[in-house]
Amino acid sequence: MSLLALLLACSGPDRPAGPNVLLLTVDTLRADHLGAYGYDRPTSPHIDELAASGVLFERAVSPRGATWPALTTLHTSWPPVRHGVRANGAPADPAAVHLAEVLGERWRRAALLTNAYGASWEGMGEEQRFDTGEERDAAAADAAERWLGEVTGPFFLWVHLVSPHDPFVVHPGGYDPVDPGYTGPVDDGQGPLVRGMYGAPAFTEADRAAVVARYDAEVAFADAAVGRILAALETSGHAADTLVVLAADHGEELFDHPPYLFHFHSPYDGVLRVPLVFAQPGTLPAGRRVRTTVALADVAPTIAELLGIPPSQAWLGRSLVGALRGRTLPDRPVYAEIGRQVLIVYEGSLVWLENPASFAPPLAPPLQLDQAGVPTELRELRFPIPQNGLWDLDADPTQQVDLARARPADAARLQAYAAAWRRQLGWPGPEAGAEPSLLTREALEAMGYLAP
Ligand SMILES: [Zn+2]
């Protein structure tokens, strides 16, 4: 056999990945706070190593800065307007087809969840919840170690970690970039974060640095859990036969657009852009980086194709396997939303935003305001979102300069994509409280996906 033939036999373009799948998702993980995405603090040695061993997508977009809607899109390859989970706590349309269902009985399927329990994770045979304490990512890693140590045969293990979600805690013995001389109000609690957003009192520069340092400590804590799970995969002997996928549900505003600090009501890239890595050394190439804008809805079709399994015909995302194998992936519009209020369209480095009703969300829900003791007279403060805007993320990654007037042709093109989304998906969809599954079922029948 020639050397070339030998190489092709070992890593041929059509060699299936898997058969095992380890899906790691991290709540509230900003891509640009990871070394693999250019961050200058050592927050993520294990995620960086994973990324270097596989293929990294530089611009992967979440459909919503909220846990349930985003993770439901990852698992069902449907946007929120279709699967119906427009906010945390909403049920998914029963017609949504989950990746775990497509894998089926041949795979042992389990979810180890530190957040987003109670959502409909169809097809996941086993579910363990870790719902108390700031150390619950460590508990989930413990459980993953045990699970990987005993599993045999094909498996699909999903672990969802949560440390970077507020409040921002520095873990004893963990990475701690907080200035030891800091004496301000920011601590392990959520209260100072909420009060700071409302200016009670306003964040100082030192407070802002403390918030970001604490967020980074939480990223490092999640990264340590990722490292332990990947080490357990090696020890289990399954690593060579396991496709590892790492993603996040959404990021965090931090201080890109004051006064808002969190994620749920942000339409911006610090929240919508998420890390996305596919790795299986020996099967997928190492060290490849893909610049094309992709979506969380693309994850399920990609995993299915990599495993050699037919995708669900209902799925709306596209397989990224061509890009994983080194082919050029053409840009196409990628969509996100804030519920029924704000529609966002990505194309390449451009982002277009429409907020037709001038939605200006509150910075925090009433319960958090009460707990934080925000004075009544300050509670009317809102997060101002423009009626529309156009940004070029290559030149302006935190979206400070609206280019809609300067680049009318680009604005018109992305506006046309938004109009197409409204037409084809029925965005913004039914009012909250309506029965979302009815419309979706009708639409599916009309498209031939369901028998009437
Ligand atoms: Zn989340």
Q: Which of 325, 250, 315 is nearest to 101 (CA)?
A: 315
Distance 84 CA to ligand 1 centre (A): 17
pLDDT of residue 190: 95
Distance 153 CA to ligand 1 centre (A): 31
Interval 300-305 mean pLDDT: 98
Distance 337 CA to ligand 1 centre (A): 15
pLDDT of residue 390: 98
Interval 183-207 mean pLDDT: 96
Distance 28 CA to ligand 1 centre (A): 5
Distance 417 CA to ligand 1 centre (A): 27
pTM above 0.85, yes or no: yes
Distance 112 CA to ligand 1 centre (A): 15
Residue 287: pLDDT over 50:
yes
How far is 50 from 218, CA to CA, in rounded Å?
Answer: 19
Distance 12 CA to ligand 1 centre (A): 37
**What CATH architecture applies to the domain 18-328?**
3-Layer(aba) Sandwich (3.40)
Distance 308 CA to ligand 1 centre (A): 30
Q: Which of 330, 356, 350 is nearest to 409 (CA)?
A: 350
User: Confidence class of residue 307 from pLDDT cuts 50, 70 and 90?
Assistant: very high
Distance 219 CA to ligand 1 centre (A): 13
Residue 310: pLDDT over 90:
yes
pLDDT of residue 118: 86
Distance 71 CA to ligand 1 centre (A): 8
Distance 251 CA to ligand 1 centre (A): 8
Residue 441: pLDDT over 50:
no
Domain with CATH 3.30.1120 in the chain: 342-446
Distance 9 CA to ligand 1 centre (A): 41
How far is 63 from 250, CA to CA, in rounded Å?
Answer: 9
Percentage of the chain modeled with pLDDT above 90: 88
pLDDT of residue 131: 84
Distance 27 CA to ligand 1 centre (A): 4
Q: Give 340's DSSP letter.
A: T
pLDDT of residue 2: 52
Residue 410: pLDDT over 90:
yes
Distance 252 CA to ligand 1 centre (A): 9
Distance 250 CA to ligand 1 centre (A): 6
Q: Class for domain 342-446, per CATH? A: alpha beta
Distance 270 CA to ligand 1 centre (A): 13
Tell me the helix, strand and coil percentages in the chain, rounded to 5. 35, 15, 50
Q: Is the peptide bond before 42 cis (omega within 30 degrees of 0)?
A: no
Residue 405 main-chain phi, psi, to 5 deg: -80, -35
Distance 113 CA to ligand 1 centre (A): 12
**107-159 confidence digits (pLDDT tens):** 999 999 999 988 989 999 999 999 888 899 999 999 999 999 999 989 999 99
Domain with CATH 3.40.720.10 in the chain: 18-328
Distance 248 CA to ligand 1 centre (A): 8
Residues 6 or more apart whose CB falls under 8 angstroms from that of 175 comprise: 42, 43, 216, 217, 220, 221
Distance 220 CA to ligand 1 centre (A): 17
Place of tokens 């707990």: 371
Distance 166 CA to ligand 1 centre (A): 10
**365-374 confidence digits (pLDDT tens):** 999 999 999 9
Distance 287 CA to ligand 1 centre (A): 28
Output the average pLDDT for the chain: 92
3-class secondary-structure state, position 150 = helix
How far is 286 from 283, CA to CA, in rounded Å?
Answer: 9
